[in-house]
Copies of this chain bind each other. A is one copy, B any other.
Amino acid sequence: MSQREPAAEQARLSVLPQRASGIPEACCTLAIEGREQTRLVQMFKALGNPIRFEILKFLLTHPGCITGDLVNHLPIAQATVSQHLKVLKQAGWVAGTIQGPAVAYCLDDANVAWFRSRVEDVF
């Protein structure tokens, strides 16, 4: 074992007496699996991008803003913003509301609450 930790990460490792062989027993069960787990992972993935996190932040402080407001606020093209909004919608973070020729976006409160409760349960 040598390339195991390249200096920067070495700090996180400490040496302990060797444990007995065998996988440690399961100490608990987890309240998530299957489709719920897939959905949770999808929500994590959607927010695991700086632009999309910024979109969510903006929607949090400016609920009901339209796509164009986000395009003005962000350093990327309209097509890309639209694509990110699609990812956030599919993950359940946001919902759009047609307002004339525009679309106003808000957080999807029910799903946000679900995410929070899952995080509290699991971790």
> Interface residues, chain A, CB within 8 Å of chain B?
1, 4-5, 9, 12-19, 23-30, 32, 37-38, 40-42, 44-50, 53, 57, 60-65, 69, 89-90, 95-104, 108, 112, 115-116, 119-120, 122-123
* Chain B residues, CB < 8 A from A112: 123
Which 4 pairs between the two chains have the least Cβ-Cβ distance? A45-B48, A44-B48, A48-B48, A44-B47
List 10 A-B residue pairs with CB atoms under 8 Å apart, sorted by A's residue number: A15-B98, A16-B97, A19-B64, A23-B62, A25-B62, A26-B61, A27-B63, A30-B57, A32-B57, A37-B57
* Chain B residues, CB < 8 A from A123: 60, 112, 115-116
Q: Copy number in this complex?
A: 2
**What residue in chain B is nearest A5 (Cβ atoms)?**
B96
A62→B27 contact, CB < 8 A: yes
